[in-house]
Amino acid sequence: MKENREMEKLFSGAGQQKVAVIGGGGFIGRSLVRKLVATGHVVRVGSQDPEKIQGLGKARGTGRVEFLKTSVNDAPQLDCLFDGVDAVINLVSVMTPDVQTLHRINVEGARLAAVRAHLAGVKHYVHMSAIGASLTSPGAYGRSKAAAERVVRDVFPDARLLRPSVVFGTDDSFFNLFALIGALSPVLPVFAGRTYYQPVFVEDVAEAALRLLQPENAGLTVEAGGPDILSMRELMAFVLEASGRKRILLPIPQVVARLEATVLEKLPGHLLTRDQVAMMSVDNVVQPGAETLQTLGIHPASMGMVVPGYLNGSVCKLYRQLKA
């Protein structure tokens, strides 16, 4: 395919190129690694638990995968990961009620990864951010993502930034979660029903990260959203339709949501946090005038084309997808 031939020319020079992907075993990372291997690159995956993601080594293509244990807060591990690579894509971030952990990983980790990559002579750097990244965000997560952008650009002025909205795909933690709730409960809660989102397909986000490595995209900031813009209430109705279930949509007032989050954020998995409730007060959509997926020549897939194919299943299947 012409598109694949173009992607094989991502970087200047001949032969295979080495790309380090920090967090390559995650939801977006798995799609990205497969795309990089398919286009002929050597992919060095940095993960805190590389033993769990060895299956990525079977990705089809003319490239290959290497695995290294890596933390964004460990300089020697980052140095090993970046040794001899041409490009770095950092996908690591956390959403946690622990503000210190949030800052340590999302900000300090982003800074250290950029610094070590710069010292290693890396030519191309992509940092995964998020729509809603702002120093004035109502949520600590949004503020941490904005701070990360700033520290990365301080080190790499031409770093590429990618800001997706809610990301969906077979193993997502958004649609699968609410579909599972809908499968187990007669009601489906609706938090911040009037807040709008622009969900984007994981394969389109991975493709965007790949294309941002092209030299002409140096310094670009891209906001990644799909073709559908829906309120949270509309998204919950879509979940029920896509999963073939009829449930009562129950609006949850913000004050009640905060009370629930006070309890739920203390449980394993942090099902709902007060920080998430705060961020739900702001629309999560591509901003007017922003560079978009179309800037990169990507025509994003709609939810209706993808989501029904993986939500219409049993409770066990939904749980496996959520935990993947």
Please give the Cα distance from 207 to 241 (Å, whole number).
Answer: 28
pLDDT at 315: 66
Written as six digits, the tokens of 130 are 């998020």
Please give the Cα distance from 97 to 101 (Å, whole number).
Answer: 8
pLDDT tens over the chain, length 324 residues? 445 455 555 554 445 689 999 999 999 999 999 999 999 999 999 999 999 999 999 999 999 999 999 999 999 999 999 999 999 999 999 999 999 999 999 999 999 999 999 999 999 999 999 999 999 999 999 999 999 999 999 999 999 999 999 999 999 999 999 999 999 999 999 999 999 999 999 999 999 999 999 999 999 999 999 999 999 999 999 999 999 999 999 999 999 999 999 999 998 888 899 999 999 999 999 999 999 999 999 999 999 999 999 998 666 777 677 776
pLDDT at 48: 93
Is residue 88 within 8 Å of 66, Cβ to Cβ?
A: no
Rg (CA), the chain: 19
pLDDT at 269: 81
Please give the Cα distance from 120 to 113 (Å, whole number).
Answer: 11
Q: Which H/E stretch holds residue 150?
A: helix 140-155
Phi-psi region of 62 (alpha: psi -120 to 50; beta: other; left: phi over 0): alpha
**What is 2-8+16-157's CATH topology?**
Rossmann fold (3.40.50)
Return the closest-CA partner of residue 40 out of 8, 2, 3, 12: 8
Three-state DSSP class for residue 294: helix
What is the per-residue burial (b if ≥16 Cβ within 10 Å, else e) of 147-181?
Answer: bbbebbbebbeebbbbbbbbbbbbbbbbbbbbbbb
Per residue in 139-179, pLDDT (tens digit) is: 999 999 999 999 999 999 999 999 999 999 999 999 999 99
Q: What is the DSSP string of 175-189?
A: HHHHHHHHHH-SEEE
Question: Across-strand partners of 126?
Answer: 89, 160
Please give the Cα distance from 16 to 194 (Å, whole number).
Answer: 48
Distance between first and last Cα of the chain? 31
pLDDT at 270: 85
Torsion over CA: 52, 54, 58, 60 (sign): positive
pLDDT at 112: 98
pLDDT at 2: 45
